[in-house]
Amino acid sequence: MRPRSQSPLRLLLKSTLAAALGVAVAHCSKSDPAPAPTPDAGTRTQVRCDGQFSDGTRISVASPTPLGDVPLPDQTFCDFHTFAWNQFLYLTQTVEDGNDPVLPTKPRFLSFSPWYNLLKKDGSNPPTAFPGGHTTLEVSMLDQKQAGAGQDALIDVAGQMVLYDIRFNQPMYDGVVDAGYYTQEKYDAFCNPPKDSPPFTDCQNPQQFWLPWGDGGTADLSLGSIEIKSAWRQFPANDCPSTVMYCAGTNLGLVGLHIAQKTPTHGEWVWASFEHVANTPDCAPGSSSPIADVSPLGTPWSFFNPQTAPPGVMTSKTCDVTADAGQCNLDPHVDGGTGFQQVNICRTDSLPTGGANDANCITVSATDAGPEANSGGNVACLNATLRPQLSGVWKNYQLIGTLWTKGTQPPDEDFWIDIFQQPKDGGTEKTAVGFPNLANTTMETYLQMGSTAYDPNGANLSNANKAGCFGCHNPVAQNTDTDLSHFPSKFDDLEKPRVRARK
Q: Is residue 54 part of a domain?
A: yes
Q: Which residue has the higher pLDDT, 445 or 463?
A: 445
pLDDT range class, residue 208, cuts 50, 70, 90: confident
Secondary structure letter of residue 483 according to DSSP: T
Q: Is 259:91 a contact under the CB 8 Å cutoff?
A: yes
Specify the pTM: 0.90
Q: Is 296 exposed, middle or buried (0-12, 13-18, 19+ CB in 10 A)?
A: middle
Predicted confidence at residue 201, as pLDDT, reads: 64
Cα distances (angstroms) measured from residue 135 to each of 5, 112, 190, 259, 420: 19, 7, 29, 18, 36
Q: Is 401:375 a contact under the CB 8 Å cutoff?
A: yes
Q: Is residue 4 part of a domain?
A: no
Mean pLDDT is lowest, of 108-117, 150-159, 257-266, 272-281, for 150-159
Q: Is residue 106 part of a domain?
A: yes
Q: Is 326:314 a contact under the CB 8 Å cutoff?
A: no
Q: Is residue 381 part of a domain?
A: yes
pLDDT range class, residue 273, cuts 50, 70, 90: very high
pLDDT range class, residue 338, cuts 50, 70, 90: confident
Average pLDDT value over all residues in the chain: 86
- DSSP-derived pairing of the beta strands 428-430 and 415-417: parallel
Q: Which residue has the higher pLDDT, 78 or 414?
A: 78
pLDDT at 263 over 80: yes
**What does the DSSP assignment read for 112-146?**
SEEHHHH-B-TTPPPP-STT-S-----GGG-B--B
pLDDT at 362 over 60: yes
Q: What share of the chain is helix, strand, coil (3-state, %, to 5)?
A: 20, 20, 60
- 471-491 pLDDT, tens digit each: 666 654 455 556 888 898 888
Q: How far is CA 311 from the centre of its chain?
A: 35
Range of the domain at 97: 10-495
Q: Is residue 271 part of a domain?
A: yes
Q: Is residue 3 part of a domain?
A: no
Q: Is residue 480 part of a domain?
A: yes
- 34-74 pLDDT, tens digit each: 443 344 344 446 689 999 999 999 999 999 999 999 999 99
Q: Is residue 92 part of a domain?
A: yes
pLDDT at 82 over 70: yes
Work out how many domains the chain is built from and give that number. 1
